[in-house]
A = this chain, B = another copy of it.
Amino acid sequence: MTGSIFAEDYGRLIVQGADQPGIVSRVSSVLAEHGANVVALDQSTSDPAGGRFFQRTVFHLPDLSGKLDELNQALEAKLVDDLGLTYRLVEAKRRKRVAIMVSKTDHCMLDLLWRQRRGELHMTIPMVISNHPDLGDDVRQFGIPFFHVPVEKDDKAAAEKEHLNLLKGNVDLVVLARYMQIISGEFLDEVGVPVINIHHSFLPAFMGAGPYQRAKERGVKLVGATAHYVTEDLDEGPIIEQDVIRVSHRESTRDLQRKGADVERLVLSRAVSWHCDDRVIRDGNTTVVF
């Protein structure tokens, strides 16, 4: 057994569903029967009476790849058929393939590319897609393909079709790293993988245009950012991570935007990292982050 839980023979099992007595024990015994040793386990229940059950288990199992089929069969029988739960079984060594979509603003994208290069993120980045050509050089310096897909105002569908051609089958996650175009419900249905977005956040919220200017006019003392899964309700999907930074009257609207950018890149990179490590369990419009 090596020291890294991202190495060969480490697996992750995510289980969720309606809570009922005995789930933890059932999961443990399935794993034990197949020779797996639990390395880390997080479990949570939304309510001790009639709530939702969530469990993330990291385990070590020699020759995991060769045993995936039988393990899946056992989990299917004992968790899905018997208890009506759902599960995901993941080999830790398989890095998620993450596409980044971006417009002109570089801070979130650069932070992801740079963390990836220094080995902080357990993922690959097969491509960056942008509706502008500006960031192409920056991306290619990291050895990553950059695809420029212009979005015409009166034919967004054409661009989304090209996006789908590039993405489908090639990626496990799409990250909108300050991609300033609206994503259609059709795209979300078609792409078939989760989409994570980052957007600025305030207390209270300033909906609509010019939020930093309006936050400034109200004298807000904190600016923040929220990373969330994208759903058809724009900016309303389940929250993965949030953070804020303190501001004051000394700072201009532009300063507020810059501080907001500092929070955005931190929050987005945490959210992407946790997603790639299967730490985020989505449940309706909320999340459990282990």
Contact = CB atoms under 8 A, between A and B. Distances in A.
B47 A3 contact: yes
A250 B45 CA distance: 8
A99 interface: no
A26 to B, nearest CB: 8
Interface in A216-259: 216-222, 224, 226, 235, 238-244, 246, 248-250, 258
A289 B21 contact: no
A44 B40 contact: yes
Count chain B CB atoms within 10 A of each CB in A1, A221, A266, A287 and give the residue with the most: A221
A21 B48 contact: no
Interface in A90-141: 106-107, 110, 114, 118, 120, 141
Contact of A286 (B22, B44, B241, B249): B249
A226 B204 contact: yes
A220 B249 contact: no
Interface in A18-61: 21-25, 28-29, 31-32, 37-49, 55, 60
A182 interface: no
| Size bracket of the A interface | 35 or more
Contact of A118 (B3, B106, B205): B106
A203 B236 CA distance: 11
Contacts of A106: 114, 118
B25 A31 contact: yes
A171 to B, nearest CB: 24
Given A38-B23, A40-B43, A224 B203 contact: yes
A2 interface: yes
Given A201-B204, A221-B242, 5 more contacts: A1-B49, A22-B37, A25-B32, A219-B288, A262-B266
4 A-B pairs closest in CB distance: A21-B37, A201-B203, A219-B286, A41-B43
